[in-house]
Structure 1
Amino acid sequence: MSNEYVKRKVALKDMNPCMICSKPATTVLFNQTLKDLIYTCDIHLIENPGFVVPIHSQEYNSTVAELQRVKLQLKVQASNGSGSWDTWVNKIFTKRNSSKDSENSDDTKKDETPTPVKEDQDKLPAIDYQSEYNKLLDKMTELQMKVRNFKLNDNMFQHRLQTKKAQQIAIAKRKKEEANYSNTKPEELEKVFSFPTVPSNDPNKKGQ
Protein backbone atom coordinates (compact mmCIF):
# COMPACT_ATOMS: atom_id res chain seq x y z
CA MET A 1 0.00 0.00 0.00
CA SER A 2 1.25 3.46 -0.88
CA ASN A 3 1.58 5.94 1.99
CA GLU A 4 0.41 8.92 -0.05
CA TYR A 5 -2.69 10.96 0.73
CA VAL A 6 -4.20 13.66 -1.48
CA LYS A 7 -5.76 16.74 0.07
CA ARG A 8 -9.33 17.40 -1.04
CA LYS A 9 -12.25 19.61 -0.05
CA VAL A 10 -15.84 18.47 0.55
CA ALA A 11 -19.08 20.41 0.76
CA LEU A 12 -20.31 21.73 4.11
CA LYS A 13 -23.09 19.14 4.13
CA ASP A 14 -20.49 16.36 3.90
CA MET A 15 -18.13 17.57 6.63
CA ASN A 16 -17.17 15.23 9.46
CA PRO A 17 -15.27 15.55 12.77
CA CYS A 18 -11.55 16.17 12.47
CA MET A 19 -9.52 13.10 13.45
CA ILE A 20 -7.19 15.28 15.56
CA CYS A 21 -9.45 17.75 17.40
CA SER A 22 -12.99 16.46 16.56
CA LYS A 23 -14.08 19.85 15.21
CA PRO A 24 -16.18 19.88 11.99
CA ALA A 25 -13.80 19.68 9.01
CA THR A 26 -14.23 19.97 5.25
CA THR A 27 -10.65 18.96 4.40
CA VAL A 28 -10.11 15.29 3.58
CA LEU A 29 -6.94 13.28 3.04
CA PHE A 30 -7.69 10.46 0.61
CA ASN A 31 -5.54 7.39 -0.05
CA GLN A 32 -6.40 5.82 -3.40
CA THR A 33 -4.72 2.44 -2.83
CA LEU A 34 -6.04 2.01 0.70
CA LYS A 35 -9.44 3.62 0.05
CA ASP A 36 -8.88 5.53 3.26
CA LEU A 37 -10.44 8.87 4.23
CA ILE A 38 -9.12 11.13 6.99
CA TYR A 39 -10.98 14.31 7.92
CA THR A 40 -8.72 17.01 9.31
CA CYS A 41 -8.43 20.76 9.89
CA ASP A 42 -6.02 22.57 7.57
CA ILE A 43 -3.97 23.83 10.51
CA HIS A 44 -3.00 20.25 11.45
CA LEU A 45 -1.26 19.85 8.08
CA ILE A 46 1.27 22.62 8.83
CA GLU A 47 4.55 21.58 10.48
CA ASN A 48 3.06 18.51 12.15
CA PRO A 49 5.43 15.56 11.48
CA GLY A 50 3.69 13.55 14.20
CA PHE A 51 0.65 13.47 11.89
CA VAL A 52 1.67 14.15 8.28
CA VAL A 53 4.66 15.28 6.26
CA PRO A 54 4.10 17.25 3.02
CA ILE A 55 5.38 15.79 -0.23
CA HIS A 56 6.88 18.83 -1.96
CA SER A 57 7.36 19.33 -5.68
CA GLN A 58 10.73 19.56 -7.42
CA GLU A 59 10.13 23.29 -7.88
CA TYR A 60 9.80 23.71 -4.12
CA ASN A 61 13.00 21.76 -3.42
CA SER A 62 14.89 23.83 -5.99
CA THR A 63 13.57 27.04 -4.45
CA VAL A 64 14.70 25.97 -0.97
CA ALA A 65 18.18 25.11 -2.27
CA GLU A 66 18.47 28.48 -4.01
CA LEU A 67 17.21 30.23 -0.87
CA GLN A 68 19.96 28.58 1.18
CA ARG A 69 22.57 29.69 -1.34
CA VAL A 70 21.43 33.33 -1.24
CA LYS A 71 21.22 33.23 2.54
CA LEU A 72 24.83 32.06 2.70
CA GLN A 73 25.87 34.96 0.45
CA LEU A 74 24.16 37.41 2.79
CA LYS A 75 26.02 35.93 5.79
CA VAL A 76 29.36 36.22 3.97
CA GLN A 77 28.73 39.86 3.14
CA ALA A 78 27.61 40.60 6.68
CA SER A 79 30.81 39.05 8.07
CA ASN A 80 32.84 41.25 5.69
CA GLY A 81 31.07 44.34 6.94
CA SER A 82 29.34 45.10 3.66
CA GLY A 83 26.10 43.25 4.19
CA SER A 84 24.46 45.80 6.48
CA TRP A 85 23.05 49.17 5.46
CA ASP A 86 23.93 50.63 8.87
CA THR A 87 27.51 49.42 8.56
CA TRP A 88 27.81 51.02 5.13
CA VAL A 89 26.46 54.37 6.37
CA ASN A 90 28.77 54.33 9.42
CA LYS A 91 31.75 53.73 7.15
CA ILE A 92 30.91 56.78 5.07
CA PHE A 93 30.61 59.09 8.10
CA THR A 94 33.79 57.67 9.63
CA LYS A 95 35.75 58.41 6.48
CA ARG A 96 34.27 61.91 6.26
CA ASN A 97 35.22 62.73 9.85
CA SER A 98 38.70 61.40 9.30
CA SER A 99 39.12 63.61 6.25
CA LYS A 100 38.11 66.71 8.24
CA ASP A 101 40.63 66.05 11.02
CA SER A 102 43.40 65.21 8.63
CA GLU A 103 46.02 67.77 7.67
CA ASN A 104 46.68 66.21 4.32
CA SER A 105 46.98 68.28 1.20
CA ASP A 106 44.08 69.21 -1.03
CA ASP A 107 45.25 66.63 -3.55
CA THR A 108 44.98 63.91 -0.93
CA LYS A 109 41.49 65.03 -0.02
CA LYS A 110 40.47 64.94 -3.65
CA ASP A 111 41.76 61.41 -3.84
CA GLU A 112 39.59 60.41 -0.88
CA THR A 113 36.44 62.05 -2.25
CA PRO A 114 35.37 59.11 -4.50
CA THR A 115 35.55 56.66 -1.55
CA PRO A 116 31.79 56.84 -0.72
CA VAL A 117 31.03 56.06 -4.38
CA LYS A 118 33.16 52.92 -4.11
CA GLU A 119 31.30 51.91 -0.94
CA ASP A 120 28.06 52.49 -2.80
CA GLN A 121 29.24 50.19 -5.56
CA ASP A 122 30.22 47.56 -3.00
CA LYS A 123 26.76 47.78 -1.48
CA LEU A 124 24.85 47.04 -4.71
CA PRO A 125 25.33 43.24 -4.64
CA ALA A 126 24.08 43.10 -1.04
CA ILE A 127 20.89 44.95 -2.01
CA ASP A 128 20.40 42.54 -4.92
CA TYR A 129 20.95 39.50 -2.71
CA GLN A 130 18.47 40.77 -0.13
CA SER A 131 15.86 41.41 -2.82
CA GLU A 132 16.47 37.95 -4.30
CA TYR A 133 16.19 36.37 -0.86
CA ASN A 134 12.82 38.06 -0.21
CA LYS A 135 11.47 36.93 -3.59
CA LEU A 136 12.57 33.35 -3.02
CA LEU A 137 11.05 33.37 0.47
CA ASP A 138 7.70 34.53 -0.92
CA LYS A 139 7.84 31.86 -3.61
CA MET A 140 8.62 29.13 -1.07
CA THR A 141 5.68 30.21 1.10
CA GLU A 142 3.36 30.23 -1.92
CA LEU A 143 4.45 26.72 -2.93
CA GLN A 144 3.92 25.50 0.64
CA MET A 145 0.30 26.64 0.51
CA LYS A 146 -0.25 24.74 -2.76
CA VAL A 147 0.88 21.34 -1.42
CA ARG A 148 -1.78 18.68 -2.04
CA ASN A 149 0.13 15.44 -1.39
CA PHE A 150 1.02 14.25 2.10
CA LYS A 151 2.63 11.26 3.77
CA LEU A 152 1.26 9.98 7.06
CA ASN A 153 3.53 9.48 10.03
CA ASP A 154 4.87 5.90 9.77
CA ASN A 155 3.30 4.73 13.05
CA MET A 156 -0.04 6.28 12.14
CA PHE A 157 0.03 4.74 8.67
CA GLN A 158 0.66 1.28 10.14
CA HIS A 159 -2.31 1.82 12.47
CA ARG A 160 -4.51 2.77 9.50
CA LEU A 161 -3.37 -0.37 7.66
CA GLN A 162 -4.26 -2.61 10.60
CA THR A 163 -7.63 -0.92 11.01
CA LYS A 164 -8.46 -1.38 7.33
CA LYS A 165 -7.44 -5.05 7.42
CA ALA A 166 -9.63 -5.66 10.48
CA GLN A 167 -12.57 -4.00 8.72
CA GLN A 168 -12.06 -6.11 5.60
CA ILE A 169 -11.91 -9.31 7.66
CA ALA A 170 -15.15 -8.36 9.47
CA ILE A 171 -16.91 -7.60 6.16
CA ALA A 172 -15.75 -10.87 4.62
CA LYS A 173 -16.93 -12.82 7.67
CA ARG A 174 -20.35 -11.17 7.59
CA LYS A 175 -20.75 -11.87 3.87
CA LYS A 176 -19.81 -15.50 4.41
CA GLU A 177 -22.39 -15.85 7.19
CA GLU A 178 -25.05 -14.25 5.00
CA ALA A 179 -24.18 -16.59 2.13
CA ASN A 180 -24.34 -19.66 4.37
CA TYR A 181 -27.71 -18.55 5.72
CA SER A 182 -29.21 -17.99 2.26
CA ASN A 183 -27.98 -21.39 1.04
CA THR A 184 -29.47 -23.31 3.99
CA LYS A 185 -32.50 -25.49 3.19
CA PRO A 186 -35.82 -24.69 4.96
CA GLU A 187 -35.88 -28.14 6.58
CA GLU A 188 -32.50 -27.51 8.18
CA LEU A 189 -33.62 -24.09 9.41
CA GLU A 190 -36.65 -25.68 11.11
CA LYS A 191 -34.35 -28.00 13.02
CA VAL A 192 -32.21 -25.13 14.22
CA PHE A 193 -34.90 -22.56 14.91
CA SER A 194 -38.30 -22.96 16.59
CA PHE A 195 -40.85 -21.00 14.55
CA PRO A 196 -44.21 -19.96 16.14
CA THR A 197 -47.36 -21.65 14.79
CA VAL A 198 -50.22 -19.72 13.21
CA PRO A 199 -53.37 -19.64 15.42
CA SER A 200 -56.19 -21.84 14.11
CA ASN A 201 -59.54 -20.31 13.04
CA ASP A 202 -61.49 -23.53 13.85
CA PRO A 203 -64.00 -22.66 16.65
CA ASN A 204 -64.03 -26.27 17.85
CA LYS A 205 -60.36 -26.04 18.77
CA LYS A 206 -60.79 -22.97 21.00
CA GLY A 207 -60.16 -23.56 24.63
CA GLN A 208 -58.38 -26.82 24.02
Structure 2
Amino acid sequence: MNFFANVYTHRKVAEGSAKGCEICFKPTTSVLITPENKDFFYICPNHLKDRGFATPIVDKAAEEAKKKKAAEEKEAKIKEEMERVKKEYDERQKKKKDKKDKKDDDKDKDKDENDKDKDKDKKDKKNDEKEKDKDSKDEEDKDEKDKTPENDEPRVFALNKHIYLQRIEKKKQAEIAKRNRERLANPGFFPSVPKGLP
Protein backbone atom coordinates (compact mmCIF):
# COMPACT_ATOMS: atom_id res chain seq x y z
CA MET A 1 0.00 0.00 0.00
CA ASN A 2 1.45 3.33 -1.07
CA PHE A 3 1.11 5.93 1.70
CA PHE A 4 1.61 9.67 1.53
CA ALA A 5 4.32 11.73 3.20
CA ASN A 6 3.58 13.82 6.27
CA VAL A 7 3.77 17.07 4.30
CA TYR A 8 0.57 19.07 3.97
CA THR A 9 0.12 22.34 2.10
CA HIS A 10 -2.39 24.88 3.38
CA ARG A 11 -4.78 26.11 0.68
CA LYS A 12 -7.98 28.18 0.59
CA VAL A 13 -11.14 27.28 -1.30
CA ALA A 14 -14.09 29.41 -2.35
CA GLU A 15 -16.70 30.36 0.24
CA GLY A 16 -19.29 28.22 -1.54
CA SER A 17 -17.06 25.15 -1.20
CA ALA A 18 -16.65 25.49 2.58
CA LYS A 19 -17.07 22.25 4.53
CA GLY A 20 -16.91 21.19 8.16
CA CYS A 21 -13.58 21.23 9.96
CA GLU A 22 -12.13 17.78 10.63
CA ILE A 23 -11.82 18.60 14.33
CA CYS A 24 -14.57 21.03 15.36
CA PHE A 25 -16.99 20.57 12.42
CA LYS A 26 -17.40 24.34 11.89
CA PRO A 27 -17.56 25.42 8.21
CA THR A 28 -14.13 26.42 6.93
CA THR A 29 -12.47 27.32 3.65
CA SER A 30 -8.98 26.16 4.69
CA VAL A 31 -7.76 22.82 3.36
CA LEU A 32 -4.63 20.80 4.10
CA ILE A 33 -3.59 18.71 1.12
CA THR A 34 -0.64 16.43 0.36
CA PRO A 35 1.55 17.25 -2.66
CA GLU A 36 0.40 14.12 -4.52
CA ASN A 37 -3.28 14.90 -3.73
CA LYS A 38 -3.60 11.52 -2.01
CA ASP A 39 -5.07 13.02 1.14
CA PHE A 40 -6.83 16.24 2.03
CA PHE A 41 -9.09 17.52 4.77
CA TYR A 42 -10.75 20.75 5.85
CA ILE A 43 -9.32 22.44 8.92
CA CYS A 44 -9.86 25.74 10.76
CA PRO A 45 -6.89 28.17 10.56
CA ASN A 46 -6.91 28.36 14.37
CA HIS A 47 -6.08 24.65 14.62
CA LEU A 48 -3.03 25.19 12.40
CA LYS A 49 -1.58 27.50 15.06
CA ASP A 50 -1.83 24.71 17.63
CA ARG A 51 1.59 23.02 17.93
CA GLY A 52 -0.11 19.88 19.22
CA PHE A 53 -1.91 19.51 15.89
CA ALA A 54 0.67 20.51 13.29
CA THR A 55 4.07 22.13 13.09
CA PRO A 56 5.07 24.44 10.25
CA ILE A 57 7.83 23.33 7.92
CA VAL A 58 10.00 26.35 7.27
CA ASP A 59 11.86 26.62 3.98
CA LYS A 60 15.13 28.21 5.13
CA ALA A 61 16.18 29.25 1.64
CA ALA A 62 12.88 31.06 1.06
CA GLU A 63 13.09 32.72 4.49
CA GLU A 64 16.62 33.95 3.79
CA ALA A 65 15.56 35.24 0.36
CA LYS A 66 12.64 37.14 1.96
CA LYS A 67 14.93 38.68 4.59
CA LYS A 68 17.50 39.67 1.97
CA LYS A 69 14.83 41.25 -0.24
CA ALA A 70 13.39 43.18 2.73
CA ALA A 71 16.86 44.44 3.68
CA GLU A 72 17.53 45.59 0.11
CA GLU A 73 14.19 47.42 -0.03
CA LYS A 74 14.89 49.09 3.29
CA GLU A 75 18.35 50.14 2.14
CA ALA A 76 16.93 51.60 -1.08
CA LYS A 77 14.34 53.58 0.90
CA ILE A 78 17.05 54.94 3.18
CA LYS A 79 19.13 56.06 0.20
CA GLU A 80 16.12 57.79 -1.37
CA GLU A 81 15.38 59.53 1.92
CA MET A 82 19.01 60.67 2.23
CA GLU A 83 19.00 62.09 -1.30
CA ARG A 84 15.75 63.94 -0.64
CA VAL A 85 17.10 65.43 2.60
CA LYS A 86 20.33 66.50 0.86
CA LYS A 87 18.37 68.26 -1.87
CA GLU A 88 16.21 70.07 0.68
CA TYR A 89 19.31 71.11 2.62
CA ASP A 90 21.03 72.45 -0.51
CA GLU A 91 17.92 74.44 -1.43
CA ARG A 92 17.80 75.97 2.05
CA GLN A 93 21.48 76.89 1.88
CA LYS A 94 20.96 78.63 -1.46
CA LYS A 95 18.03 80.56 -0.04
CA LYS A 96 20.13 81.62 2.96
CA LYS A 97 22.98 82.79 0.72
CA ASP A 98 20.57 84.83 -1.38
CA LYS A 99 19.15 86.38 1.75
CA LYS A 100 22.62 87.16 3.11
CA ASP A 101 23.59 88.89 -0.12
CA LYS A 102 20.53 91.10 0.12
CA LYS A 103 21.20 91.73 3.81
CA ASP A 104 24.71 93.00 3.18
CA ASP A 105 23.16 95.91 1.30
CA ASP A 106 20.97 96.88 4.22
CA LYS A 107 23.02 96.41 7.40
CA ASP A 108 20.61 98.39 9.48
CA LYS A 109 17.79 96.01 8.69
CA ASP A 110 20.16 93.12 9.01
CA LYS A 111 19.95 92.73 12.78
CA ASP A 112 16.17 92.59 12.83
CA GLU A 113 16.00 90.23 9.87
CA ASN A 114 18.67 87.93 11.34
CA ASP A 115 16.66 87.53 14.49
CA LYS A 116 13.56 86.83 12.44
CA ASP A 117 15.46 84.46 10.11
CA LYS A 118 16.88 82.58 13.06
CA ASP A 119 13.42 82.21 14.50
CA LYS A 120 12.13 81.12 11.11
CA ASP A 121 15.02 78.70 10.65
CA LYS A 122 14.38 77.21 14.05
CA LYS A 123 10.70 76.89 13.26
CA ASP A 124 11.49 75.43 9.83
CA LYS A 125 13.88 72.91 11.38
CA LYS A 126 11.31 71.91 13.96
CA ASN A 127 8.64 71.56 11.28
CA ASP A 128 11.00 69.59 9.04
CA GLU A 129 11.88 67.25 11.91
CA LYS A 130 8.19 66.76 12.66
CA GLU A 131 7.49 66.06 8.98
CA LYS A 132 10.38 63.59 8.82
CA ASP A 133 9.11 61.84 11.93
CA LYS A 134 5.62 61.68 10.41
CA ASP A 135 7.02 60.43 7.10
CA SER A 136 9.10 57.75 8.81
CA LYS A 137 6.11 56.68 10.92
CA ASP A 138 3.91 56.60 7.81
CA GLU A 139 6.50 54.48 5.99
CA GLU A 140 6.73 52.08 8.93
CA ASP A 141 2.94 51.83 9.02
CA LYS A 142 2.88 51.13 5.27
CA ASP A 143 5.56 48.46 5.69
CA GLU A 144 3.54 46.82 8.45
CA LYS A 145 0.37 46.98 6.31
CA ASP A 146 2.23 45.48 3.36
CA LYS A 147 3.06 42.47 5.51
CA THR A 148 -0.29 40.79 5.39
CA PRO A 149 -0.95 37.90 7.75
CA GLU A 150 -1.23 35.58 4.77
CA ASN A 151 2.35 36.29 3.78
CA ASP A 152 3.65 35.70 7.26
CA GLU A 153 1.74 32.49 7.88
CA PRO A 154 3.48 29.24 6.99
CA ARG A 155 1.97 27.30 4.10
CA VAL A 156 3.52 23.85 4.61
CA PHE A 157 2.85 21.75 7.71
CA ALA A 158 3.76 18.40 9.22
CA LEU A 159 0.97 16.83 11.26
CA ASN A 160 1.46 15.56 14.77
CA LYS A 161 2.56 11.90 14.77
CA HIS A 162 -0.72 10.62 16.23
CA ILE A 163 -2.91 12.68 13.91
CA TYR A 164 -0.83 11.58 10.92
CA LEU A 165 -1.29 7.92 11.92
CA GLN A 166 -5.04 8.54 12.24
CA ARG A 167 -5.09 9.94 8.70
CA ILE A 168 -3.27 6.85 7.40
CA GLU A 169 -5.64 4.54 9.30
CA LYS A 170 -8.64 6.41 7.91
CA LYS A 171 -7.27 6.00 4.36
CA LYS A 172 -6.71 2.27 4.97
CA GLN A 173 -10.27 1.85 6.22
CA ALA A 174 -11.62 3.73 3.18
CA GLU A 175 -9.65 1.48 0.80
CA ILE A 176 -10.83 -1.67 2.58
CA ALA A 177 -14.45 -0.46 2.42
CA LYS A 178 -14.04 0.31 -1.30
CA ARG A 179 -12.57 -3.14 -1.95
CA ASN A 180 -15.42 -4.79 -0.05
CA ARG A 181 -18.03 -2.85 -2.06
CA GLU A 182 -16.36 -3.95 -5.29
CA ARG A 183 -16.33 -7.58 -4.13
CA LEU A 184 -19.98 -7.45 -3.16
CA ALA A 185 -20.88 -5.94 -6.53
CA ASN A 186 -19.07 -8.79 -8.31
CA PRO A 187 -21.57 -11.63 -9.03
CA GLY A 188 -18.84 -14.30 -8.66
CA PHE A 189 -18.12 -13.33 -5.06
CA PHE A 190 -20.99 -15.33 -3.52
CA PRO A 191 -21.09 -19.12 -3.93
CA SER A 192 -23.63 -20.47 -6.33
CA VAL A 193 -26.62 -22.54 -5.26
CA PRO A 194 -25.91 -26.30 -5.36
CA LYS A 195 -27.53 -27.92 -8.39
CA GLY A 196 -27.34 -31.56 -7.49
CA LEU A 197 -29.46 -33.47 -4.99
CA PRO A 198 -28.02 -33.95 -1.56
Tell me the TM-score normalised to structure 1 length.
0.46
Structure whose alpha-carbon radius of gyration is higher: 1
